[in-house]
Amino acid sequence: MGADILVVAEHKDGKVKKTACELLTVARTLAAARGGKVLAAVLGPGAGQAAAELGAWGAETVLVGEAGFEAYASLKWTRAICEAAAARRPAAILMSVSSLSRDLAGRVAARAQAALASDCTALSAEGDGFKIVRPMLAGRALVTAVHAGPGPLLATLRPNVFTAEKPAAPAAGTVEALACADDPRDQRVVVKSFAAGGGTRPELTEAAVVVSGGRSLGSADAFKVIYDLADALGAAAGASRAAVDAGYAPHSMQVGQTGKTVSPVLYIACGISGAIQHLAGMRTSKYIVAINTDPNAPIFKLADYGIVGDLFEVVPALTEEVNKAKA
């Protein structure tokens, strides 16, 4: 095991995601503590376009896999990352918590014989290893663990918890091809196509502001008040599991233990009581605003600001004020 840190950077059509910038910021700190370098692996269409941006964020070597990686294929991507790890022998491999890493991280950890720490909210160098902090028991407790080898650590980091900061003087990074020969065993699962979601709102797990609605909205049509406020704020729209189960919102909007974990700067919970399963997915938000008619709702115990009132009166009033301020 060496001293370098390998970041698996996600991008969309060649545009580096904010989560990749967060990972590179953490990687620079870890690599400096261990006397190593920051490496980044970027795969898929547009990977070459993303390489320059990754260099600006501190990746000293960018491994680009574009040819032969036309669509996401978990088996081939696993093999490519593991081959890069075997050649470079990094001390740690970093991924962001996402739908991609939930499919990829376990496979890579098993094949690379790496210790897997998922959903980390803190990561630092500790002697020859690393100190990890991650939530457990639906977020009601934090566990601190130390990784001391002998193999590498594979850690997935929660988005928006780590602040992305560009280096003052990034080194002149190098770009290398991440070659991965075709293997018939990779064809056991083949991705035929992707269906892009509609709308222009930011991705839920990366958004700086999230507006979520609960079952008390009463219908899918009533979620318009949530969408209106989200659009006024340039925010993502979320929902509780109860609202999703009732058919008021798609599962892609679900925030919570069985949905997506978010850590925005601002989380606005509208008509959400605050069941522990929901809190597990948003309790690390920097500021939480709760709107509920029940003054004893559990969400108020976690909220920084609370409004006891009818969301159908409060949320449109907030939307109006936001739009006025923007005019």
Domains and CATH numbers, the chain: 5-188 (3.40.50.620), 209-326 (3.40.50.1220)
pLDDT at residue number 136: 84
Please provide the DSSP assignment of 60-93 as one string: SEEEEE-TT-SS--HHHHHHHHHHHHHHH--SEE
Query: Is residue 267 a contact partner of residue 289, using CB atoms and an 8 Å limit?
Result: yes
Answer yes or no: is pLDDT of 327 > 90: no
Answer yes or no: is pLDDT of 9 > 90: yes
Token pair belonging to 64: 């680009």
pLDDT digits (tens, 9 = 90+) for 172-194: 679 999 877 778 787 777 777 76
Name the E strands within 87-172. 92-96, 115-120, 122-126, 129-136, 141-147, 153-157
What does the mean pLDDT of the chain come to? 92
pLDDT at residue number 197: 62
Q: Would residue 217 be called left, alpha or beta, if left means φ above 0 and alpha means ψ between -120 and 50 degrees?
A: alpha
Report pTM. 0.84
Phi, psi of 299 (to 5 degrees): -60, -30
Rg (CA), the chain: 21
Answer yes or no: is pLDDT of 215 > 70: yes
pLDDT band of residue 269 (cuts 50, 70, 90) is very high
Least confident interval from 127-136, 197-206, 234-243? 197-206
Hey, is 99 helix, strand or coil? Answer: helix
pLDDT band of residue 196 (cuts 50, 70, 90) is low
